[in-house]
A and B are shown apart, each in its own frame.
Chain A
């Protein structure tokens, strides 16, 4: 569509005019994100804090810490998940556990902020009216990147403070503590900014905000996989694969272990390079257009029902999640053999895995822990998929469909089938990946994957209930899914009390494949999920549609 626009020579423009209006646009972005941005920053900061606190209690002596370092250095599976340990100080351990995930979370936060204020504004047509005012051609991108910088700056500050305050073992020097904390904070935020710039490029090359988000998320996922592969191959983060991943750079800053500050410069250079590319592209295209032009669709459609429409809307999501689960399963499966090395390793770490995966053979524990992880991530899928109903309703797209000969339940059923059936599909694919990576025990692994479904469905059922009863609070379902993920991931590491752990439906599932199948809890959870869905749908049928 934009072949001509792309080919047109760049206009001679004065730099300052290009940026006119950046200030008001930044204020607009911060005002719009006044809730979302602090929540992201606080949640990431809080996860650093809770890990630092729990490690301070778990590994309170130098001997215990040395033990962890020892076991990690010799265990490629653990390294793939968390990376190598560079220091046996408390800060070093907390960094080891958090840097990969903290960086990935900062990256997701940044991608959402940047796409939201660039491509999404163009897609909705709001940018057109904004740009009719005194807004320079590069101001929207600059405003979005500055908004991301604000969030990441706050995050760097918070992480630095939290690490300096909580991740300090006795007898560790204050100055070293501060340097290490600052390095973690800057590395986390640096990864965030790096992917903010990736998102800025993605926003230039596609016309669709959802696709731009997906492209950036895929790059983040690839970075995570590269780092995992590199770290499982090398004990000191020096593998080429690790160095290909920005998340690997954050790890290689080696906070609390003679910080390598120059690695931060690598991050900075990558940020700058990507920013230059994004700005160059932004200056060379028409507003609302892109470098990957939208292809024309068919002149005649075959969609004939609400179900077909629901599938058409959600199929990209289902297939994307399915592919992601297959790949994740392959990686975890490939790491399973190494998990047995743990046996001789650290007692504490072993206990964590046992709390996650049950008290049986270590391989079984690892498989159970990994299928459990997949299950908790699949809960995010089911929430996203259920909330499509909410998005369709508030986006005014449900109204004309429901004005046709389609009942509300019929309309909802199509989406819910994809949500709950899709969860089964992606878990099956995740299990298949695990089997292909591991090479043994297909029935056991598939069983362990599918046994997660009742718990996933309960989370999805809660989303349906919230959507039906309190549609304006439907987004709280994300909180539920996030909480179960946090309970499942951090809970075993910090040894949370059993009543707290029981809040998560996943806690009640049998730890397959090692343990015996225990039907009552699985059936009970399924019944609970069905009741939640039925109640939500009943409420949906009675309430007013949102306008």
Chain B
């Protein structure tokens, strides 16, 4: 499989500010790739470099196999971009703007345009100044999805969309993937990322800290386990990768209750140890996406662990309700 985007060791500074500090990013052709990171991590700077709007100080970047700076114009025939904050011209209608962007890219499919206007419930006759935030966003989204391109670069594209439109957006992205197009999606809406993305890259302070499929990323974090045991737990605390172990004896001395966090890579050993004590019931919860991200977003390692733990305590109550991440081992 060829790569739609390859970025290696990208550096870009503005004066004394290092926006990108050796960033790596690989996006396979045909995948939807989540691009995540806290505010100011360098996501938009990376995207601007990929669009040839900024020139990298050093490092290699390739878009669809070509140089994003030198071949900007040829590349842009095959690329559609939606910024997080779309501004329109006051005295041009939404329809005019959609057609303009279509013409400035490789062209526009009129049938698809009409269908998208319908699905996004956009009134293309209104003037730029009268659109709300969400509707301005829709103008750019229709222009992007109706364009005949190979790569979509979406920078927080759904900010301001209502949940119904968010739904429409997700279906559109899936359709794009089904057609074999590549999507780079920068987003803070984690449910959106989880629903759409094949792989994600997380960046912080201009450096990629994690990249892979969601399953792979989950593997690198902790699973919480709680169990009711027949006998006393034996040697759990000494097992590698175990954290926050809490043991209680059940009333009447008829067993023990255990709660712990374990690095997902060491889960097997923990389960073996638990079963030696005789398991009466067992619940294992993989990390939520929020925990995953908070761990990576936070400023440094120690803070990350603390923040993740705090977030976990906070989100524990809601975990079952949103149903996204709870899994029960049977």
Name A residues whose Cβ lies closer than 8 Å to a Cβ of B.
1-5, 8, 11-13, 17-18, 20-21, 24, 28, 31-32, 124-126, 128-137, 286-289, 293, 394, 547
Which residues of A are found within 8 Å of B194, using beta-carbon distances? Answer: none
Contact of A17 among B51, B74, B80, B85 (CB under 8 A): B74
| B103 interface residue (CB < 8 Å to A) | yes
Q: Are A287 and B53 in contact (CB under 8 A)?
A: yes
Assess A125 versus B83: contact at CB under 8 Å? Given A31-B96, A286-B55. yes
| B87 interface residue (CB < 8 Å to A) | yes
Q: Are A133 and B89 in contact (CB under 8 A)?
A: no
Q: Are B51 and A5 in contact (CB under 8 A)?
A: no
Q: Are B104 and A135 in contact (CB under 8 A)?
A: yes
Contact of B72 among A137, A286, A547 (CB under 8 A): A137
Instruction: Tell me the nearest residue of chain A to B54, going by C-beta.
Output: A286
Instruction: Tell me the nearest residue of chain B to A33, going by C-beta.
Output: B91
- Distance in angstroms from B238 CB to nearest chain A CB is 50
Which residues of B are found within 8 Å of A135, using beta-carbon distances? Answer: 73, 76, 104
Assess A132 versus B53: contact at CB under 8 Å? Given A24-B100, A31-B92, A32-B91. yes
- Distance in angstroms from A7 CB to nearest chain B CB is 10
| B81 interface residue (CB < 8 Å to A) | yes
Q: Are A130 and B92 in contact (CB under 8 A)?
A: no
Assess A124 versus B76: contact at CB under 8 Å? Given A31-B92, A132-B53. no
- The complex places the Cα of A542 from the Cα of B133 at a distance, in Å, of 26
- Distance in angstroms from A347 CB to nearest chain B CB is 50
Q: Are A134 and B54 in contact (CB under 8 A)?
A: no
- Distance in angstroms from A336 CB to nearest chain B CB is 46
- Most-contacted residue by chain A among B76, B80, B85, B130 (CB, 10 A): B76
Q: Are B73 and A17 in contact (CB under 8 A)?
A: yes
- The complex places the Cα of A125 from the Cα of B92 at a distance, in Å, of 16
Which residues of A are found within 8 Å of B104, using beta-carbon distances? Answer: 21, 24, 130, 133-135
Q: Are B76 and A134 in contact (CB under 8 A)?
A: yes
- The complex places the Cα of A323 from the Cα of B83 at a distance, in Å, of 41
- The complex places the Cα of A11 from the Cα of B131 at a distance, in Å, of 39
| B36 interface residue (CB < 8 Å to A) | no
- Distance in angstroms from B94 CB to nearest chain A CB is 14
Assess A1 versus B76: contact at CB under 8 Å? Given A31-B96, A126-B87, A134-B105. no
- Distance in angstroms from B97 CB to nearest chain A CB is 9
| B188 interface residue (CB < 8 Å to A) | no
Contact of B55 among A1, A5, A288 (CB under 8 A): A5
Contact of B48 among A13, A128, A547 (CB under 8 A): A128
Assess A8 versus B55: contact at CB under 8 Å? Given A129-B140, A135-B104. yes
Instruction: Tell me the nearest residue of chain B to A132, going by C-beta.
Output: B81
- The complex places the Cα of A124 from the Cα of B57 at a distance, in Å, of 25
- Distance in angstroms from B299 CB to nearest chain A CB is 19
Q: Are A134 and B73 in contact (CB under 8 A)?
A: yes
Q: Are B15 and A32 in contact (CB under 8 A)?
A: no
Q: Are A133 and B101 in contact (CB under 8 A)?
A: yes
| B70 interface residue (CB < 8 Å to A) | yes
| B126 interface residue (CB < 8 Å to A) | no
Number of A-B contacts (CB under 8 A): 95
Assess A129 versus B81: contact at CB under 8 Å? Given A21-B104, A31-B92. yes
A131-B51, A132-B153, A133-B101 known, 17 other contacts, Cβ within 8 Å: A3-B15, A4-B13, A17-B73, A21-B73, A21-B104, A24-B104, A126-B87, A126-B88, A128-B48, A129-B81, A129-B101, A130-B104, A132-B76, A133-B76, A133-B104, A136-B72, A547-B130
| B69 interface residue (CB < 8 Å to A) | yes
- Distance in angstroms from B297 CB to nearest chain A CB is 24
Which residues of B are found within 8 Å of A289, using beta-carbon distances? Answer: 14
- The complex places the Cα of A8 from the Cα of B69 at a distance, in Å, of 13
- The complex places the Cα of A288 from the Cα of B104 at a distance, in Å, of 20
13 A/B residue pairs, CB under 8 Å, sorted by A: A1-B15, A4-B15, A18-B73, A24-B103, A28-B100, A128-B51, A129-B86, A131-B53, A132-B53, A134-B76, A136-B72, A137-B72, A287-B54
Instruction: Tell me the nearest residue of chain B to A27, going by C-beta.
Output: B100
- Distance in angstroms from B325 CB to nearest chain A CB is 35
Which residues of B are found within 8 Å of A8, using beta-carbon distances? Answer: 55, 57
Q: Are A125 and B85 in contact (CB under 8 A)?
A: yes
- Most-contacted residue by chain A among B54, B55, B81, B140 (CB, 10 A): B55
Q: Are A5 and B15 in contact (CB under 8 A)?
A: no
Contact of A20 among B53, B73, B89, B101 (CB under 8 A): B73
Q: Are B76 and A32 in contact (CB under 8 A)?
A: no
Which residues of B are found within 8 Å of A5, using beta-carbon distances? Answer: 54-55
Contact of A12 among B70, B77, B130, B140 (CB under 8 A): B70
Which residues of A are found within 8 Å of B14, using beta-carbon distances? Answer: 1-2, 4, 289
Q: Are B83 and A136 in contact (CB under 8 A)?
A: no
Which residues of A are found within 8 Å of B13, using beta-carbon distances? Answer: 4
Which residues of A are found within 8 Å of B130, using beta-carbon distances? Answer: 547
| B5 interface residue (CB < 8 Å to A) | no
| B270 interface residue (CB < 8 Å to A) | no
Q: Are A128 and B83 in contact (CB under 8 A)?
A: yes
- The complex places the Cα of A129 from the Cα of B91 at a distance, in Å, of 18
Q: Are B73 and A136 in contact (CB under 8 A)?
A: yes
Which residues of B are found within 8 Å of A137, using beta-carbon distances? Answer: 52, 72
| B129 interface residue (CB < 8 Å to A) | yes
- Distance in angstroms from B102 CB to nearest chain A CB is 9
Instruction: Tell me the nearest residue of chain A to B49, going by C-beta.
Output: A286
Which residues of B are found within 8 Å of A547, using beta-carbon distances? Answer: 130
Which residues of B are found within 8 Å of A17, using beta-carbon distances? Answer: 72-74
Give the top 7 A-B pairs by smallest Cβ distance, nearest first.
Answer: A133-B104, A132-B81, A20-B73, A287-B53, A134-B76, A286-B54, A17-B73
Which residues of A are found within 8 Å of B85, using beta-carbon distances? Answer: 125
Assess A129 versus B76: contact at CB under 8 Å? Given A13-B70, A24-B100, A24-B103. no
Binary CB contact string for chain B from 218 to 230 against chain A (1 if under 8 A, 0 otherwise): 0000000000000
- The complex places the Cα of A512 from the Cα of B195 at a distance, in Å, of 78
Assess A132 versus B73: contact at CB under 8 Å? Given A21-B104, A32-B89, A32-B92. no
Contact of A134 among B77, B91, B140, B153 (CB under 8 A): B77
Which residues of B are found within 8 Å of A287, using beta-carbon distances? Answer: 48, 53-54
| B79 interface residue (CB < 8 Å to A) | yes
- The complex places the Cα of A8 from the Cα of B13 at a distance, in Å, of 12
Q: Are A394 and B129 in contact (CB under 8 A)?
A: yes
Which residues of B are found within 8 Å of A32, using beta-carbon distances? Answer: 89, 91-92
Assess A4 versus B100: contact at CB under 8 Å? Given A12-B70, A133-B105. no
- The complex places the Cα of A134 from the Cα of B86 at a distance, in Å, of 18
Instruction: Tell me the nearest residue of chain B to A25, going by C-beta.
Output: B104
- The complex places the Cα of A129 from the Cα of B44 at a distance, in Å, of 12
- The complex places the Cα of A446 from the Cα of B92 at a distance, in Å, of 48
Instruction: Tell me the nearest residue of chain B to A124, going by C-beta.
Output: B87
Assess A129 versus B73: contact at CB under 8 Å? Given A2-B14, A3-B15. no
Instruction: Tell me the nearest residue of chain B to A31, going by C-beta.
Output: B92
- The complex places the Cα of A289 from the Cα of B45 at a distance, in Å, of 13
Within 8 A of A (CB), among B121-166: 129-130, 140, 153
- Distance in angstroms from A24 CB to nearest chain B CB is 6
Within 8 A of A (CB), among B40-60: 48, 51-55, 57
- The complex places the Cα of A1 from the Cα of B153 at a distance, in Å, of 26
- The complex places the Cα of A293 from the Cα of B13 at a distance, in Å, of 14
Which residues of B are found within 8 Å of A24, using beta-carbon distances? Answer: 100, 103-104
Which residues of A are found within 8 Å of B87, using beta-carbon distances? Answer: 124-126
Q: Are A293 and B15 in contact (CB under 8 A)?
A: yes
- The complex places the Cα of A17 from the Cα of B52 at a distance, in Å, of 13
Which residues of A are found within 8 Å of B86, using beta-carbon distances? Answer: 129
- The complex places the Cα of A11 from the Cα of B74 at a distance, in Å, of 16
Which residues of B are found within 8 Å of A20, using beta-carbon distances? Answer: 73
- Distance in angstroms from A338 CB to nearest chain B CB is 48
- The complex places the Cα of A352 from the Cα of B256 at a distance, in Å, of 108
Assess A128 versus B101: contact at CB under 8 Å? Given A134-B77, A137-B72. no
Which residues of B are found within 8 Å of A125, using beta-carbon distances? Answer: 83, 85, 87
Which residues of A are found within 8 Å of B72, using beta-carbon distances? Answer: 17, 136-137
